[in-house]
Structure 1
Amino acid sequence: MGRVSRTTLSVAVAIALPVALSGCGMSLFFPVVEESTPYPEDVDAALEPFYSQVLRWDQCGEFLCSTARAPLDWDEPSADEIELALIRQPAQADKVGSLLLNPGGPGVSGYDVVAASIDLAVTETVQDRYDVVGFDPRGVGRSTAVTCMKPKEIDDVLYGVAPGSRGSNGWITGQNELTHSLGQACLRNTGPLLANVDTLSAARDLDLMRAVLGEEQLDYLGFSYGAYLGTIYAGTFPDKVGRLVLDGAIDPSLGESQITLAQAQGVETALRSYLAACMPAATCPFQGTIDDGMAMVRSILDAVSKNPIPSADGRTVGADTLLIAIAAPLYSVDTWPALDTLFTTILAGKPDFALTLVDGYYGRTAEGTYTSNLFEALRAVRCLDYPAQNNVSVMKEQGKALTDAAPYLGPYFAYSDLSCLSWPFQSENVPGPVAAPGAAPILVLGTTNDPSTPYQWAVNVASQLESGVLVTRQGDGHTAFNKGNACVDTTVEQYLIEGVVPPVDVLC
């Protein structure tokens, strides 16, 4: 089975996660220790049972865990319901409120981030003053989840190599057929939920969680896709916006092809920064100029595209897999040294380290299982959020544009529309700017050399929002908050805890 070619870096994950903690959330085995009093909302009668529900919190290790009920379909709330898993770390000092956290994705577990990596997401200063609440969005993890395939079948999709030369009619047909097979498996095993995991539905869930936590307005920290979710929330519920931080913002006015092009440029720019840091060292696998290094990376991708490197476990490293292995360490300067090892081992014809990097990206264990349903949820959400066009000639023209904009990596970002072309449910979303008129001030964070969510997107979102305030981190890596920049961290902390809004855009 070949791999679906969606090389867009849509897993925009800001937080690196250890293996999920399996002991949390099993409320059957823990006594209820407290309850949340819902905020009295004036909602339609069909929504009242959801907005008035009482959350019962169980002790789960160091945290408190609960489950909320939400409508399966927000347009028909009385038809059926789903569950949303939440985990909470109570404030250590005088409580400001509840801070809902989304680390990215789509498909990343906010529950696991709080359970296993809260210090990577939220500074101690914010933890002291807020109940930090992680949650798994609809379709993800411990919430009612998208389920598609067995692990071996997922391996075939993620690590297989499609027959035929890239961009040929046969290759395109094969990719489209695979998308259809994957989508039908998801439909069989997930059911009606598959049509209802779009970001707008998740934003409505977010408002429900705000209310059942007892909060009149939403305080929220969203990274990457989580910033996009926060943007959609602000546009849908501007009067409920409290203190929103959108870190690594995604421009809601962009379509699939525009996002793919910008990310291809972002990864190339970040790769140049890596090469500039690497080349002075004797151990660097590249020599010459930065353009020489970029050309060498392109030649490596071309080589494994024609002759994928097989591994002992039956998987292969082709160009799509190698592109993910290159992009993932670019998310943080701290992981750039992994690229030295990656390129050294690939040049030696050894695939294992590349597979290790990609396994970490998708949450695959050494035993061949998956710690989450990130891949399946990612595909389901993206296909509902972004319309796919079916004109192959247009795809090929977009491929040329990608090559012009990102000459070294761009060709391997092409044909991303194929990943949703034969999906069971087509997107009805129309991309457009979000103004959120009347909303309280919103902080929009961008990093100047972000490989996954280009800085220009943060500039765009801050200007589109009537109350947007731009905070710029000058540097490399994905997202800005809690990344060691004191200027960014202080600005965010003062905003969240004291409500201090910068009088002008902030440059850090």
Structure 2
Amino acid sequence: MKRPLIVLIALAAVAAVVAGVLLVVRDGDGASDDSPAAQAIQPTGEQAPDGLQRFYDQKLTWKGCGGDSECATITVPIDYDEPDGATTTLKAARYLSTGDGTRVLFVNPGGPGGSAIDFAASLAGSMAPTVRDAFTIVGIDPRGVGESSPLECLPDAQFDAYAASDPDPSTSAEVRELRAGVRKLGEACAKNSGELAGHVSTEEAARDMDVARAAMGQQKLDWFGASYGTQLGATYATLFPQKVGAMVLDGAVDPAQDVFGSAFGQATGFQRALDAYLDACAKLESCPLGQDPNAANRALATFMSRLEDQPLPTGTDRELTKGRAFYGVAVTLYDKAAWPVLSQALTAALRGDGSLLLRLNDLYFSRQSDGSYDGNIGWANIAVNCLDNRERPSVAEVEAELPRFEKVSPVFGAALGWGTLGCTDWPEPAERPQVEIDAEGSSPIVVIGTTRDPATPYENAKALADQLGDREGVLLTREGDGHTAYSSGNRCIVKAVDAYLVDGTVPRDGTTCPDE
């Protein structure tokens, strides 16, 4: 019923759950307000699409908002078909270039619903000096997300109960209950967020990025998108191909897939990642699931199924349900270095202690220890997906697909199969669905795929590069584990991306970079 969030998860955040450490993101060195970078961020003054001139010409006011970052708000129309109607605001954070560079690199981490503001802070503190000298890093939370007039839906406690529900219903009553849960969530979004609840599609978010580009004085949009950020970037390139500068799409989504194809791809990807973990775990005497990977797969599936009727205690008033365990396992597959965390969590759970898997589940949804949520990715993810997609499968159609899902993944398959029902009862219609991707006429776009990426399977990257165009889509492959490539530390990938961003050196299409 609920699709896994396609979101960039930092390994450090996973490790922090176990280590209990406070994470501090190192800011960039920054630059003064009279630097070339700061002076360059003025409206382009270009001719805007009909009715949008005042948005394209707006002058942004930047103020310090922590560390070396500065923040501003950008006004955009809620409905681009009615530019004189109601508006909404986007929150932007910038890290000025450390050199004389006047280009802006817009970044987005995925989700949909992930915070681009947080992602900008991370990249500003980790990208090479050559990139930081050339670019001001800007993160803009998309409409309805994070700090950009966020969608408000269910209270925290009610969303927590929704997220804990069984993702794999086994009776008609459970199916009805889950469908009612989705409908209740959507109705709450509409009630508490008004008109905006029906206008958080990817197409509208891409149009917002063009307003931001012009308001920040950029003739071209330079873009680094990870995970769902690749869909947002590719949509922009389709709508505004002549405005594309350097564009990196890392951990690609395939927007052309139907709802079953997308979910089946994720079932394949997560199982592929789980198999890699189990193969590595089996070589260790301490592996909680034993030394036979096939038997370990069956044992994990049995453990998850047992939680449906026998949830585990966690030392809190929240039990480890099957739904919470599902996401607790999934989050650790986003980065190979988090596999020891999964082993620890499973060791404890098999002994009757579900506390660590619960904490991992909470990390997935950005749930904090006081029960509040850091951001709104849990519901923004669903709202965006449902406005992008007009498909509304029936229960009978889903049930007919389940056997192939369960065959490809005994652990994740059924839940992801039922997840295709997630938009069937969403109350907002998809008035502006995902556009067909075709960036003909744009500059070359680098698409990166990782061969054992769980959330955005490698096949997606090949498909997206093809959709962008024979000349426009350039495929770069990382052979390795985990979600996305640039943040993995693969030096070949980083070198290729940095050279492309800074110097415009386009990688050879089909280049492969094995993990070292």
TM-score higher than 0.5: yes
- Is 1:261 equivalent to 2:267 in the alignment? no
Moved more, 357-366 or 411-420: 411-420
Which of residues 361, 365, 379 is equivalent to 1:362? Answer: 365
Tell whether the 8 Å contact from 1:304 to 1:318 is kept in structure 2 after alignment. Answer: yes
Which of residues 135, 138, 154 is equivalent to 1:133? Answer: 138
Which residue identity is paired with 1:225? Y
How many angstroms apart in 2 are the aligned matches of 1:150 and 1:157?
Answer: 11
- Is 1:383 equivalent to 2:378 in the alignment? no
Q: State the 1:166 CA deviation.
A: 2.1
Superposed, which structure 2 residues align to 1:164-175 within 5 Å? 166-175=169-178
Q: State the 1:458 CA deviation.
A: 0.2
Q: Which residue of 2 aligns with 1:343?
A: 346
How many angstroms apart in 2 are the aligned matches of 1:481 and 1:428?
Answer: 34
Q: State the 1:229 CA deviation.
A: 0.5
Q: State the 1:432 CA deviation.
A: 6.6
- Is 1:270 equivalent to 2:280 in the alignment? no
Q: State the 1:410 CA deviation.
A: 0.9
How many angstroms apart in 2 are the aligned matches of 1:116 and 1:497?
Answer: 19
Q: State the 1:431 CA deviation.
A: 5.6
Q: Which residue of 2 aligns with 1:11?
A: 6
How many angstroms apart in 2 are the aligned matches of 1:32 and 1:401?
Answer: 60
Tell whether the 8 Å contact from 2:269 to 2:453 is kept in structure 1 after alignment. Answer: yes
How many angstroms apart in 1 are the aligned matches of 2:321 and 2:361?
Answer: 12
Q: Which residue of 2 aligns with 1:82?
A: 88
Give the TM-score of the pair, scaled to structure 2. Answer: 0.91
Superposed, which structure 2 residues align to 1:184-333 within 5 Å? 184-333=187-336
Which residue identity is paired with 1:215? Q
1:360/1:110 CA distance change after superposition, 3 Å: same
Tell whether the 8 Å contact from 1:158 to 1:321 is kept in structure 2 after alignment. Answer: yes
Tell whether the 8 Å contact from 1:286 to 1:293 is kept in structure 2 after alignment. Answer: yes
How many angstroms apart in 1 are the aligned matches of 2:479 and 2:71?
Answer: 37
Tell whether the 8 Å contact from 1:251 to 1:460 is kept in structure 2 after alignment. Answer: yes
Q: State the 1:397 CA deviation.
A: 0.9
Superposed, which structure 2 residues align to 1:374-453 within 5 Å? 374-428=377-431, 433-453=436-456
Taking only the aligned residue pairs, the percentage that are identical comes to 34
1:242/1:195 CA distance change after superposition, 3 Å: same
Which of residues 484, 487, 493 is equivalent to 1:488? Answer: 493
Which of residues 71, 92, 96 is equivalent to 2:98? Answer: 92
How many angstroms apart in 2 are the aligned matches of 1:322 and 1:62?
Answer: 38
Q: State the 1:398 CA deviation.
A: 1.4
Q: Which residue of 2 aligns with 1:119?
A: 125
How many angstroms apart in 1 are the aligned matches of 2:248 and 2:4?
Answer: 22
Which residue identity is paired with 2:52? L
Q: State the 1:231 CA deviation.
A: 0.8
- 3-state SS, counterpart of residue 70 of structure 2: strand
How many angstroms apart in 1 are the aligned matches of 2:183 and 2:497?
Answer: 44
- 3-state SS, counterpart of residue 473 of structure 1: strand
Tell whether the 8 Å contact from 1:495 to 1:501 is kept in structure 2 after alignment. Answer: yes
1:16/1:90 CA distance change after superposition, 3 Å: farther
Q: Which residue of 2 aligns with 1:145?
A: 150
How many angstroms apart in 1 are the aligned matches of 2:42 and 2:11?
Answer: 33
How many angstroms apart in 2 are the aligned matches of 1:63 and 1:273?
Answer: 39
Query: CA offsets, 1:3-40, max 9 Å, x none?
Result: xx31x22332244686999xx9xxxxxx9996731112
Which of residues 143, 146, 162 is equivalent to 1:157? Answer: 162
Query: CA offsets, 1:246-272, max 9 Å, x none?
Result: 000111100221111111111111111
Q: State the 1:156 CA deviation.
A: 1.2
How many angstroms apart in 2 are the aligned matches of 1:156 and 1:102?
Answer: 29
Query: How many positions carry a matched residue from both structures?
Result: 492
Tell whether the 8 Å contact from 2:97 to 2:136 is kept in structure 1 after alignment. Answer: yes
Q: Which residue of 2 aligns with 1:505?
A: 510
Which residue identity is paired with 2:80? W
Which residue identity is paired with 2:325? L
* Uncovered stretches (5+) of structure 2, i.e. residues with no partner: 14-21, 28-32
CA-based RMSD of the aligned residues comes to 2.2
Tell whether the 8 Å contact from 1:384 to 1:426 is kept in structure 2 after alignment. Answer: yes
Query: CA offsets, 1:16-66, max 9 Å, x none?
Result: 686999xx9xxxxxx999673111221245200000001111122311111
1:161/1:461 CA distance change after superposition, 3 Å: closer
Moved more, 225-234 or 421-430: 421-430
Give the TM-score of the pair, scaled to structure 1. Answer: 0.92
- 3-state SS, counterpart of residue 414 of structure 1: helix
Q: Which residue of 2 aligns with 1:28?
A: none
Query: CA offsets, 1:147-174, max 9 Å, x none?
Result: 0122111111112458xx8242211111
Tell whether the 8 Å contact from 2:93 to 2:117 is kept in structure 1 after alignment. Answer: yes
Q: State the 1:417 CA deviation.
A: 3.2
Q: Which residue of 1 aligns with 2:483?
A: 478
Query: CA offsets, 1:359-393, max 9 Å, x none?
Result: 11111111111111111211211111123424211
